[in-house]
Amino acid sequence: GAMAAVRDVEIDPEGTFKYILVRVQRPGGEEQRDIVRGTKAAEFHNHIFEKVNPEMEKLGYECKCLGGGKIDHNSRDKKIRVFGLSTGYGKADHSVTVEILKKVYTDYEITWSDDKK
């Protein structure tokens, strides 16, 4: 369905930035997906949610933020590190985030930790 049009991952190609894990679902429907969104442009985690939420509403989905953290994306070495937390949303389940990232960045080394930095 249209949910296939919703990309699993949209993150900056390089650098360290905030990210959120978002659950997308049809109102009242069973179909749901967790997606990862992150960008340096966001000073706070809720800035990311405020961008993704209207996009998904337009497609007829409701969103729930499952938490956040930070992503360190090193495209040269093909490494992604997931860590940290969101003050507002709490810590995302980074292990879930890593599994989603692996679907897209198949040839990367992707790790996570509960480190703050």
- Backbone phi and psi for residue 100, each to the nearest 5 degrees, phi listed first: -70, -45
Identify whether 1 is part of a domain: no
Identify whether 2 is part of a domain: no
pLDDT at 57 over 90: yes
Confidence at 12, pLDDT banded by 50, 70, 90: very high
pLDDT at 2 over 90: no
- Active site positions, annotated: 45
70: tokens are: 């930070």
Identify whether 25 is part of a domain: yes
Which residue has better confidence, 31 or 40? Answer: 40
**CATH number of the CATH domain containing 65:** 3.50.20.20
Give the E-state strand segments of 3-53 in sequence order: 9-11, 15-25, 32-39
Confidence at 1, pLDDT banded by 50, 70, 90: low
Average pLDDT of span 31-53 = 96
Confidence at 28, pLDDT banded by 50, 70, 90: confident
Identify whether 3 is part of a domain: no
18 among the known binding-site residues?
A: yes
Total structural domains in the chain? Answer: 1
Identify whether 64 is part of a domain: yes
Confidence at 45, pLDDT banded by 50, 70, 90: very high
At 29 the pLDDT is: 82
Range of the domain at 23: 9-113
82: tokens are: 């997931």
Confidence at 102, pLDDT banded by 50, 70, 90: very high
Work out the number of other CB atoms within 10 angstroms of the CB of residue 84.
22
- Backbone phi and psi for residue 74, each to the nearest 5 degrees, phi listed first: -110, 95
